[in-house]
Amino acid sequence: MASSTEPRKGWETVSQVYVRVLRAVVYLLVAISGASVLAIMGVTCADVVLRLKWVNRPFVGAFDIVKIAGAISLATALPYTTAVKGHVAIEYFHHKLNRPGRIALDTVIRLLAMALFAFFAWRSFAYGFDLHSNNQVSQTLQLPVFWVPFVIGFCCAVVVLVIGHNLVHPGREMIKP
């Protein structure tokens, strides 16, 4: 006869794997964010150097690359910032409440944030499909840009999962900064 702890052990294993995979995704996204910031710096520096009087050859497409890399760096940093609870919080009302009031307020805020980021993810994917169907490209380099809203939507979906983890495990960061 199976003991009552076996299903719990199975659930704990699934939960541990889920958190491990979610952390890996968050770390991968923050690495992409860092690479995007480096790309922005490199392209900007190259553009400045190439515009000097003795070279006089601007970096063609620098604006396109910086614009795309900026969107990617911002979107891919959101899950990490959420996981370490690095967002700015105004806690004036939070400190005026008793413990049950704080828990209720925190739960409502997290659920609203999950709904908001789920909406952002949905609309980002819808926008990406619109860009794809219209064959939208960047201005100078003519690069397809439909994938940028897909990345943003994916990052928003990951934020929903991170907020859900924080909702289930209150008072703890998913990742230590």
* Cα-based distances in Å from 99 to 94, 155, 164, 174: 9, 32, 20, 22
Q: Along the 177 residues of the chain, how does pLDDT read in single tens digits?
A: 455 556 666 667 888 888 999 999 999 999 999 999 999 999 999 999 998 888 888 889 999 999 999 999 999 999 999 999 887 776 777 778 888 888 888 899 899 999 999 999 999 999 999 999 999 999 999 999 999 999 999 999 999 999 999 998 877 778 887
Close Cβ partners of 102 (under 8 Å, ≥ 6 residues apart): 94
pLDDT of residue 93: 73
Which pTM does this prediction carry?
0.87
Tell which residue, 36, 34, 62, has the closest CA to residue 48: 62
Compute the C-alpha angle 166/171/173, nearest 5°. 55
pLDDT of residue 15: 81
Q: Cα–Cα distance between 43 and 50 in angstroms, integer? A: 10
Residue spans per domain, the chain = 5-168
What is residue 137's three-state secondary structure?
Answer: strand
What is residue 162's three-state secondary structure?
Answer: helix
Amino acid letter, residue 67: K
